[in-house]
Amino acid sequence: MTIIVHHLNNSRSQRILWLLEELGEPYEVRRYERDRKTMRAPASLRAIHPLGRSPVVEVDGHRLIETGAIMEHLVARSGNRFGPPADAQGAILYRQFLHYAEGSMMPPLLALLVVGKLGLLGRPARPTVQRMLDDHLDWLEGELATRRYFAGDAFTAADMMMSFPLEASRARGGLDSSRPHLIRWLEEMHARPAYQAALKTGGRYAYA
Ligand SMILES: N[C@@H](CCC(=O)N[C@@H](CS)C(=O)NCC(=O)O)C(=O)O
């Protein structure tokens, strides 16, 4: 049964398309466009799942939400390709970054977005939120100074999970060439043929 990805433009679900391209797994993309004013997903996505958020994936008769959980499921289903490295330290780093991407790194990015939308009202909060994000970026820069990928020497699904928060950080969170290891890593991710193929199937994506 072909995997179906309910995909919203410019969103976290780009990572699922990328993983499926890396796995060489056939899939069908059902596209949803953000409202240009509110940037919210269209109501039609609520017909797929009550939260109306992307990604939603249909696989083997199951409907899954939550990027990290979807990634873990698809990795396990493929016999752990791009899954945890065999060494204990690599396996711990893999699990850590798989969860950290949405659990710890996205909240300050979301806060920055909200503060930005508030305009003048949000301005006093901006430095505090930016400092929160900078703590993450400084730590991550140090991590990638010691190894090529987030879980060690091999490219894994943890890298795919980390792509969205780091892309968003570059677009609106001040990530630039002053953190060269993160930029080097982002450029390497974007150069992967499967990443490029996923851009074609996903349509408009502002962060590549
Ligand atoms: N932690 C969830 C977050 C899902 C989520 O908020 N997705 C955003 C896309 S980046 C969305 O669908 N937003 C549409 C909306 O808020 O209307 C995941 O990673 O799947």
Is the pTM value of this prediction over 0.85?
yes
Q: Which CATH number fits the domain 88-192, given the four candidates 1.10.20.60, 3.90.420.10, 1.20.1050.10, 2.102.10.10?
A: 1.20.1050.10
- Residue of 33, 37, 45, 54 to test ligand 1 pocket, by largest number of atoms within 8 Å of CB: 54
Tens-digit pLDDT profile for the chain (208 aa)? 899 999 999 999 999 999 999 999 999 999 999 999 999 999 999 999 999 999 999 999 999 999 999 999 999 999 999 999 999 999 999 999 999 999 999 999 999 999 999 999 999 999 999 999 999 999 999 999 999 999 999 999 999 999 999 999 999 999 999 999 999 999 999 999 999 999 999 998 999 9
Q: What is the pLDDT of residue 200?
A: 96
Indicate the domain borders of the chain.
3-82+194-202, 88-192
Ligand 1 centroid to Cα of residue 145, in Å, is: 30
Q: What is the pLDDT of residue 160?
A: 98
Q: Which atom of ligand 1 is nearest to the CA of 10?
A: 10
Residue with tokens 């060489």: 24
Pick from 102, 162, 163, 108: which is nearest to 135 by CA?
Answer: 108
Cross-strand partners of 32: 8
Q: Which atom of ligand 1 is nearest to the CA of 41?
A: 17
Could you please state the CATH topology (level 3) that the domain comprising 3-82+194-202 is classified under.
Answer: Glutaredoxin (3.40.30)
Q: Are 75 and 82 in contact (CB under 8 A)?
A: yes
CA distance 16 to 71: 7
Residues whose beta carbon lies within 6 Å of some atom of ligand 1: 8, 11-12, 40-41, 52-55, 66-67, 102
Q: What is the pLDDT of residue 204?
A: 86
CA distance 96 to 94: 5
